[in-house]
Structure 1
Amino acid sequence: MSEFCFLPWYPRGIGEFLDASGSNYVALFDDQTILKFPIVPPHENTAAFSPAGQKYRRQIREASLRGLDVEEKILEKIGHHERIISLRGRHEDGLLLEYMRNGSVDRYLHSRPETTLDQRLKWALQAAEGLAFIHSNHVVHCDLSTGNLLLDSALNIKIGDFEGILLHPDGTIALDGGARYNTLSSMPRDDQDHCDYQTDRFALGTAIYSVITGQRLFPDLDPVEEDTEVQRRFKAGDFPILPDERGGQIIRKCWMGEYESSTQIVHDIQSVLFPITA
């Protein structure tokens, strides 16, 4: 096996593998719970690997464990909310989390492009509600995207993946799990490692755009190979235009950093997109 490849391993009690990221696997634990655990197993035999390969795999596991520890602490801190995935407990190899049986909004829309505009607008509101709650608890998500907007059995959104930043009330960092935005969700700034409420709101704008349109931002670009061009467009304010009745102005205000709080986004979505119930 290549030292830079990872094969599935099987912690106690897991069933079907559901997902994988750069550092974690997600597998079914029971019909209401998933286990999120490092892609590198404990006590791995690395004798056949080069020193560089051993170091790489050790760093991947350490980063995963740090992120899972921060995620547990953040979820314990913010507590229960209808827009946040629930922490079920600890497992010797990872975190037990609420199973969201309809997966991510990203995957759902990919397989169901006929999803109505009303449903998409509802998800935009729910995502904003979740982000406002997170921020009210001094948490910066740092990786908000349609892949982390998860759907329960009733197709309501709950935000997942909390390996971001927990702040002290004075704004200094208490915990940092190491999560960072993908290219299309990353607000242009001098220090690309810096995350705050404003960078989260920028990422929310990209997520809402993808939810409403059913496509990723800048489909003409490869966000990995052409990340410099993505950032150039962001800095130039070269964003796609959507009509206001589909959230266009709200999305643009997220991208341009014009919101002072995330609750303002919730209010605008309610007022502009759901005027009868606002």
Structure 2
Amino acid sequence: MEVFACLDDEHWTKTGPFSTIDLERRIYEALGQHPHIVPYREVNKFGELILQRLSKGTMHTHLLENDPPFRTRMRWAAQVAHALARVHQCDIVWNDCHFENVLIADHGDAAICDFGGAYIKPNPMTSFVIGPPLPFLCPWPSYGQTAMRNDIFAFGVMLFALLSKRFPHHHDLSPDLDACISINEHHKHRSFDTLSAIKYPLFSDIIHKCFKLEYSVAGEIVPELEKACNDWVESFEKTWRTLIKVSRPIMH
């Protein structure tokens, strides 16, 4: 069993089986420093993993309690995609992509954590029966196909939920176990929820491609997601400028 504890104002510790802690150490050292991966410090003499403490809590908590604006949620999605791209670039499968494993820093940016269930250079025949929790879990085995599919599918679920403030085939961000099982059954039968292509231009296509596993690695998602974010910002600013112009009082 893994146990987390606050070490001081800036760090927290993670204890667990030696094999798990050593795996995470190797992964953090392979990943190096990245702005959207929780900073790793060391494994101390007690065999505890020392990580930088991000005290603002998980992404899920922020979504439920703070109702962040669309622009913030969009930024978080891009940041997770960049972090996941680094993970895949190092030939690592995170295998635990979900909201509780994304932390929010004091300055408001997102950082991923927890690589206890990850794989380094996995065998192509690895089935990945164990992975992220429902409803993020990819419901199909990965024999002979890209090992990163679990991460890509889970990111699609995360992106859908971030943008729409609800999980696929559900009405909010707090599905109970029965609802999670139902969502997984939809996915198992390739019944995918969709977002409006009008309301979410480009984003809806990225989500669809994640669900269909049309990406091989997260690095393929990043440029498309960046374009979607930039296009949305440009469209928003254009609309805002138009509204300001229309709402100006007529001067006599």
Per the normalisation by structure 2, the TM-score is 0.78
**1:163-178 alignment to 2 at 5 Å?**
163-168=116-121, 172=123
Amino acid at match of 2:94: H
Q: For residues 222 and 211 of structure 1, do their structure 2 counterparts lie closer, same or farther at Cα, with a shift above 3 Å needed?
A: closer
Note if 1:252 corresponds to 2:208: yes
Note if 1:37 corresponds to 2:20: no
Amino acid at match of 1:32: E
Cα distance in 1 between the residues matched to 2:80 and 2:13: 23
Cα distance in 1 between the residues matched to 2:15 and 2:62: 24
1:150 aligned partner: 103
Cα distance in 2 between the residues matched to 1:226 and 1:150: 25
The one-character-per-residue Cα deviations of 1:144-169 (angstroms, maximum 9, x if unpaired) are 0111111111111111001133434x
2:51 aligned partner: 97
* Unpaired runs of at least 5, structure 1: 1-22, 39-63
Displacement of 1:183 in angstroms is 1.9
Residue 192 of structure 2: SS of its match in structure 1?
coil
Amino acid at match of 1:94: E
The one-character-per-residue Cα deviations of 1:85-137 (angstroms, maximum 9, x if unpaired) are 11111231521111111111111111112x11011111111111110111000
Contact 2:168 2:183 in 1 (8 A): no
1:273 aligned partner: 229
Amino acid at match of 1:242: L
Residue 7 of structure 2: SS of its match in structure 1?
strand
Q: For residues 234 and 148 of structure 1, do their structure 2 counterparts lie closer, same or farther at Cα, with a shift above 3 Å needed?
A: same
Cα distance in 1 between the residues matched to 2:176 and 2:191: 15
Residue 30 of structure 1: SS of its match in structure 2?
coil
Aligned residue pairs total: 222
2:89 aligned partner: 136
Q: 1:215 aligns with which of 166, 173, 180?
A: 166
Contact 1:143 1:179 in 2 (8 A): no
Contact 2:27 2:120 in 1 (8 A): no
The one-character-per-residue Cα deviations of 1:205-248 (angstroms, maximum 9, x if unpaired) are 11112222223344379664466543331133222221245322
Amino acid at match of 1:154: H
Cα distance in 2 between the residues matched to 1:29 and 1:217: 38
- Greater fraction of residues in helix: 2
Q: For residues 158 and 139 of structure 1, do their structure 2 counterparts lie closer, same or farther at Cα, with a shift above 3 Å needed?
A: same
Q: For residues 108 and 195 of structure 1, do their structure 2 counterparts lie closer, same or farther at Cα, with a shift above 3 Å needed?
A: farther
Note if 1:124 corresponds to 2:89: no
Structure 1 runs of 4+ with >4 Å offset: 220-223, 225-228
**1:166-245 alignment to 2 at 5 Å?**
166-168=119-121, 172=123, 180-190=131-141, 196-219=147-170, 224-225=177-178, 229-244=182-197, 245=199
* Unpaired runs of at least 5, structure 2: 235-252
2:248 aligned partner: none
Cα distance in 1 between the residues matched to 2:96 and 2:216: 20
- Greater fraction of residues in strand: 1
Amino acid at match of 2:7: F
Displacement of 1:195 in angstroms is 8.6
Cα distance in 2 between the residues matched to 1:88 and 1:139: 20
Amino acid at match of 1:260: S
Superposition CA RMSD, Å:
2.7
Cα distance in 2 between the residues matched to 1:240 and 1:105: 22
